[in-house]
Amino acid sequence: MAAFPVRIRFGGFLAIVFVFAAAFSGCGDSTVGQAESVVAFAGGAGGPGFFDGSPADPVRFDSSSGVAVTTTGDRFVADTENHVIRKIDASGNVTTFAGSFGVAGSADGTGPAARFNQPSGIVAVGTILYLCDTGNHTIRRISASGVVTTVAGNPGVPGAVDNTFGPGNVLFSAPRGISSNGATLGTILYVADTGNHTIRRVSASGATTTLAGSGTPGFVDDTGTAASFFSPEGITFDGSSIFVADMGNHAIRKVTPVGSVGDVTTLAGDGTPGYIDNTSGASARFSSPASLASIGSDLFVSDTGNHVIRNVNTTNLGFATTLAGSPQIAGFADGTGSLAGFDSPEGITSDGFPSPSLYVADTGNHVVRLVTLGGSVTTVAGNPPRAGSADLQGEAARFRAPAGVAVIGDDVFVADTENHTIRKIDSAGVATTIAGSAGTPGSTDTPPRFRFPGGITALGGDLYVTDSENHTIRKVTTGGLVTTIAGNPGATGSADGSGTTALFNNPQGIVVLGGDLYVADSGNHTIRKVTTGGGVTTLSGSAGIAGATDGPSAVARFRSPLGVAVLGPSLYVADSGNHTIRKVLVPSGTTSTFAGSAGQPGLADNSGASARFSSPDGIAGVGTALYVADRGNHAVRRISTLATVTTFVGNPGAATTRNGDSNNALLNAPTGITGVEGSIYFTDINENVVRKILF
């Protein structure tokens, strides 16, 4: 069984993806199995994902960073990493208003036909929405009926070009903040052009000018292009002046229109990050403020790095106070004032009502929050991550990016990757930590420390773990004794040898065949053999050379292989970067493509090369079939010995945790996978849970 951490960036946050492999021998099968149901096993669900529904449903967002309220009272959310715009109605029901889940692009059209690329800032003018389509470097408009058009900018082309006559040739660079003059006729937009370090003025026709900013990062109060900003993100207009959350300068700036340009002054902050409250002007401290909203003479600021919502008074020398949140402590809690918790909040807006409230895109928690002017915080939509390290039972237990899973008897063992620990879950769902210390990475055997353990497999009564960021293979007894059998902690490379003379590069999946260990050495794009005595050889692939070639050991190529499993006498590899499942003969290392087509991600139930996968991670041999954690498709797939691929459970159109029968159950980035006849265990990496499929 195996899993591991591959780090990838998305939406400015560090995410970890893990892969897993398991080994169970079988005698062959050509039948199509059917899952009966999916049930919870351990951990509390919640986190980034995608699902529309009512407040009772497992609704998910992914790094939402902008929110706007139209005159109808509907809330609209820039769901950044899902590349869509979502709508929350008065009853709290969430629907997708424009764009297609997980499909980045740039296309004008209506509703699901439109495409966005990491939309962020969003503003409502009556019932019309305008937004910063950050990854496309454009400004977009969405009508009340969901018709999307491009106002200004050239999709996919960053730059800094004005045009006072219309949208032609206008260029932006990753704009993130947008506000307006509030007029439904003669609409003027103000844009924080983040990558250009400028403030731009855009008419509804697309004509664009630069109000302020030199185009290079700096911190200078002056007029027009003589002034400078550093990655400005948030922007709001109070009817006479423009206020900017100057993120890189950790300051709140004021831009007063003077003719065709703007006069820039600093209202609060002095360029030094930190947290100082109940003081004015340059004495106040902020940490990467990302957005702000104006109500009367007050600005309400998402002080992102401090995880709080601040109030800055524009008529009292920029006097700053904290409205809600616990300063410098990321968390999640509904409550009032400092009892509430946020995690890197970004977008913020007022609902514009006579007795106004604020809505906040609580980006790190992947939820939308309602904040009253009295500081009371409630959650409107979404379900936050429930990560942690608590050794408790069932849904009360907590994990942090669990990856690989293995079975010994009635117990399930988990590589709890971001906790840097190895956990045990008994048949009653009680979780305990058997090795490592939560939140304390390291590489020592005594006391046992790990650094992002990923893959895990069982041999006899012992466990073997790919300690991925230590680049080592570790042995763990069920009593918690740890020894390093191969690899040199912290040293990357590819060297066959014994013990510390052998080198790996981000080893991931691990499985047992014939008393030996086989490892998906992901960073080296190879499959390695490791004896329990620590002898390491390369079975297939060429170190450092990615590809998709089938053939003898020295000719074969892989691309970031993650999972590895055993079925009969052969190995099967989840070749994640190629979106395929490969077969490797032992001991020759001769490799062939068993299912899927290299470089062709997708979802297709079919046979052999006609099947499609999307970033397959974990793979396990259970009984007479292979089971694949098809992470990008949010599904578990089944492959017969005749290479017939079917979807066992899951739906690529949703990314959330929902238990139930096979037709209703939903998954969210399944990674580690293992099983015994009748039961499959897997980890949903985005949800921090371990789940069970009955079949």
| CATH number, domain containing residue 120 | 2.120.10.30
pLDDT score for 669: 98
Which range of residues forms the domain containing residue 625?
A: 394-694
Q: Is residue 656 part of a domain?
A: yes
Residue 99, domain member (yes or no): yes
Q: For the segment 121-159, what is each residue's pLDDT rounded down to a tens digit?
A: 999 999 999 999 999 999 999 999 999 999 999 999 999
Domain count, the chain: 2
Residue 195 φ/ψ region, left for φ over 0, alpha for ψ in the -120 to 50 degree band, beta for the rest: alpha
The model's confidence at residue 33, banded by pLDDT at 50, 70 and 90, is low
User: In this structure, are 292 and 398 located in the same domain?
Assistant: no
Assess whether 423 and 340 both reside in one domain. no
Tokens read off for 503: 């080198």
Residue 53 amino acid letter: G
**How many whole angstroms separate alpha carbon 190 and alpha carbon 612?**
44
One domain for residues 478 and 613: yes
- The amino acid occupying position 430 is V
Has residue 26 been placed in a domain? no
Per-residue pLDDT, 3: 39
Q: Assess whether pLDDT exceeds 50 at residue 373.
A: yes
295 and 429 in a single domain? The answer is: no
Do 269 and 398 lie in one domain? The reply is no
Which tokens in the block code for residue 567?
């079925």
> Residue 28 has what pLDDT?
42
Let me know whether 325 and 409 are in one domain.
no
pLDDT given for residue 10 in this prediction: 29
Q: Which of 327, 355, 382 is the last residue of a domain?
A: 382
Query: Are 105 and 89 contacting, i.e. CB atoms less than 8 angstroms apart?
Result: no
Domain boundary among 382, 403, 433: 382
Rounded distance between C-alpha atoms, residue 360 and residue 370, angstroms: 6
Under the banding of pLDDT at 50, 70 and 90, the label for residue 34 is confident
Residues 361 and 408 occupy one common structural domain: no
Is 645 domain-assigned? yes
Q: Pick from 336, 354, 382: which residue ends a domain?
A: 382
Decide: 42 and 586 in contact? Cβ < 8 Å.
Answer: no
Instruction: Please check whether residue 361 is in contact with residue 77, taking contact to mean a CB–CB distance below 8 angstroms.
Output: yes
Answer yes or no: is pLDDT of 24 > 80: no
Q: Do 367 and 408 reside in the same domain of the chain?
A: no
- Whether residues 501 and 559 share a domain: the answer is yes
Specify if 205 maps to a domain: yes
Judge whether 473 lies within some domain: yes
Q: What is the Cα Rg of the chain in Å?
A: 27
Residue-level pLDDT at 7: 31
Based on the domain organization, do 111 and 196 belong to the same domain?
yes
Within 8 A by CB and 6+ apart from 275, the residues are: 285, 286, 287, 303, 306, 308, 327, 328
Single-letter amino acid code for the residue at 398: R
Please tell me whether residues 172 and 79 are part of one structural domain: yes
Q: Does a structural domain hold residue 157?
A: yes
Half-sphere exposure of 281 (CA within 13 A, CB side): 5
* Same-domain pairing of 420 and 456: yes
**Most distant CA pair in the chain: distance in Å?**
81
Residue 19 pLDDT exceeds 60 = no
The Cα 318–Cα 487 span in angstroms is 56
Distance CA 372, CA 388 (A): 29
In this prediction, residue 469 carries a pLDDT of: 98
CA–CA gap between residue 134 and residue 117 (Å, rounded) = 7
